[in-house]
Chain A
Amino acid sequence: MKMRKWASLSLATIMLTAVLSACGGGGKANEEGQTGDSTSNKPVDITVLVGKEEIAKPFEEMVREYNELQDQAKVTIIPLAGANGYERMSTLYASNNAPTVISIGQELPLMQDKLLDLSDQEWVQHASAGTLDYATFDDKVLGMPMAVEAFGFIYNKAVLDEVSGGSFDPDSVRTVDDLKALFEKIEASGMAPITVSPLDWSLGAHFANIMFTNQSADRDERHQFLEEIKNGAVDLENNAVFNGWMDTFDLMKAYNSAKNAPLAAQYDEAPLYLADGQAAMWFMGNWAYPQIKEADPDGEYGFLPVPISNNPDDYGNSQISASVSLYWAIDKEQSTPEQQAAAKDFLNWMIGSEKGQDYYVNQFSAIPAFTNFQIQPEDSLSQSVLYYMDNERTLEWMNLYFPPDGFPTMGASLQKYLTDNLDRAGVAKEFEDYWKTKE
């Protein structure tokens, strides 16, 4: 009896020690990764936190290929694992496990003290115009643009060709009246003109973006507007851009394929409607192309700007929102110089090598934010984005400057408007009230 008791006690002790040493072991391995081992030729371990779930799979393949191609660095992916980007970043930083390479968007200003200055990198020279603005702090470039993302009215060319009797010219729609005439023509031919996906990010981040960018063609002036709305100095109800923008929203609401139950519309159905021609247009962005392609591999698609006035020359009526929303950044706080160098190499390979570019363009369906890419996207929707970019007809993504609760709040107001639970004055008031709290 006595014997048995001692046996179980020692067993418990062993287990406890095992638990404790496991923790210690983890810490040690971590430390090793921190200090690096420059004397031997062991590859440097670097980690990448990827926030874009859509490209997770091809990204994994790309990393595997990169690891096989060279022996200087070994890249490991840290998945988001269901958490949101900022949550994951803060836990990794707090546990002294900061990722070497981070995909980062709206969190950039919060994290700027921790990120490496990348201004000396070659790609800085080749970045498309304006794409570095958001990632530049005190003249230091802290992020490498991931990809250009664009949104506007996506249209199914075959459907619009049929409706307009001939090849549809996207430049023919420049005013709210043009848009209305087009919607009427589509409806007359028995189709739903447009799908409005009632998601808070689509309405509150993307559609709302247009109201801010179209305030002025001058970057400083429109950012001034953002400051003024925070100070409560903006009277939205009497703002011409706001009213024109709501006029367009009224049209979208009236010709919505789901107008009987606007909030019941499902995101997954919209690309199918668009591909089948059940709805001729969709307010969305080029990230939805993989789903559209799946439903209609040979179809031709393009972007239409969102017009907000009846003067075709007004700023925004011939531009689509196209910008970079995510950047690659490198940690400088917890990563060793060796790790930082390896991370720079990895980023350069990703956008500089033929393999990396191929993955970028063909596997991630990304539109490169660099002018020197050898491989260019060939699908019709990307071509449409490139057309607007080449002609410098793009709008900034000002929603990157919205506070984190900006899109859910403004999205909620627009959702209420869609279901007639709020009128135009109400939207104006809710927007103003929200922004006043952000002074």
Chain B
Amino acid sequence: MYNEKTWLGKLKVFGLFAAVPLFVFFTVVILPFLAGLFMTLTNWTGTGSYEFTGLSNYVVALRDSVFWDSMWLTLKYVLFTLLLTNVLGFGLALLVTSGLRSQNFFRAGFFTPNLIGGIILGFVWQFIFTRVLVYLGTEFNLGIFSSSWLADPGTAFWSLVVVGVWQNAGYMMLIYIAGLTGISASLTEAANLDGASYWKQLTRIRIPLMVPAFTISLFLTLQRSFMVYDTNLSLTRGGPYRSTEMIAMHVYNEAFVYQNYGPGQAKAFVLFLIVALIAILQVRAMKKVEVEA
């Protein structure tokens, strides 16, 4: 890749392109990560002195049933948003590449939710769930909307899923559009001449060729749903009675709101391990199904 032969030349290129990003990455990602890891072994309270406490923070963190409830809830949330976002995103991508007349307008429209910040989006949807839907529900006697979805643990969870899917599906649609348009026309033409049906073309040609797009989309939705915080905060604030506290919010609350820095940071590290493991497994599995045309 590099043409530089001398040591100095290599150093120059490194200094030019990599030194600044590496420095920034080191100071804002690696250092805090290590400091955080160190913190889990102490009883530091955010200010002042501390003592080493071994692994006791991890014991506290792992024994906390609320932590596991929150983790379980988050896994459930990830599962549903992952499926729904990608099904919807892919469906929309097929729709807006099928040659509709106003497809550019629709592309922009479906993508827009992604441009709105999560906090604003949460408040908009909070208004919809607590006012608009309740108003419609009482006016037209629709049982499921007669009271706010955010007031009941079960429906509050689904509200979060709805908003999460609505926010991310447009973005995934964009990735799938790129994947779909990247398929060489010669392949679909050949399939057409051979008399392959639309369904056959989709499952045998398009989807297999789009596996890289699926890998990216699944990875992104996985990561985004696991780390969801902003919509969680503005939509439910973890309520009612802490039943919709996703894992990111749980970790934040544990450390800063309940002032348990050590266990909070330990939970964050456990979360990191789980997410890293899932992400690696997912990318590895997807690599196996990738094909070349």
Contact = CB atoms under 8 A, between A and B. Distances in A.
Contacts of A419: 151-152, 240
A58 interface: no
Interface in A68-99: 83-84, 86-87, 89-90, 93-94
Contacts of B239: 200, 263, 415
A181 interface: no
Interface in A403-439: 403-405, 408, 411-413, 415-416, 419
B256 interface: yes
A261 B148 contact: yes
B5 to A, nearest CB: 15
Given A8-B16, A264-B150, A90 B46 contact: yes
A412 B245 CA distance: 12
Contacts of A110: 45-47, 259
A404 B23 CA distance: 38
Interface stretch (A9-17, A223-231, A242-250, A307-315): A9-17
Contact of A90 (B15, B47, B242): B47
Given A200-B239, A264-B147, A419-B240, A404 B257 contact: yes
A412 B46 CA distance: 27
B134 interface: yes
Report, as a range, how many residues of chain A touch the other chain: 35 or more
B258 interface: yes
B2 interface: no
Interface in B246-262: 253, 256-260
Contacts of A9: 12, 15-16
B47 A89 contact: yes
B240 to A, nearest CB: 5
Interface string B252-277: 01001111100000000000000000
A404 B258 contact: yes
A357 B130 CA distance: 41
A415 B240 contact: yes
Interface SS of chain A:
helix
B2 to A, nearest CB: 13
B241 interface: yes
A405 B256 CA distance: 10
Contacts of A412: 241-242
Nearest to B23: A16
Contact of A404 (B19, B152, B242, B259): B259
Most buried by B among A114, A263, A412: A263
A312 to B, nearest CB: 34
Interface in A194-231: 198, 200
B202 interface: no
A22 to B, nearest CB: 13
B20 interface: yes
Interface string B3-32: 000000000100110011001000000000
Q: Which 10 A-B pairs have the closest CB atoms?
A: A90-B46, A412-B241, A261-B147, A264-B148, A263-B151, A264-B151, A405-B258, A87-B256, A415-B241, A404-B258
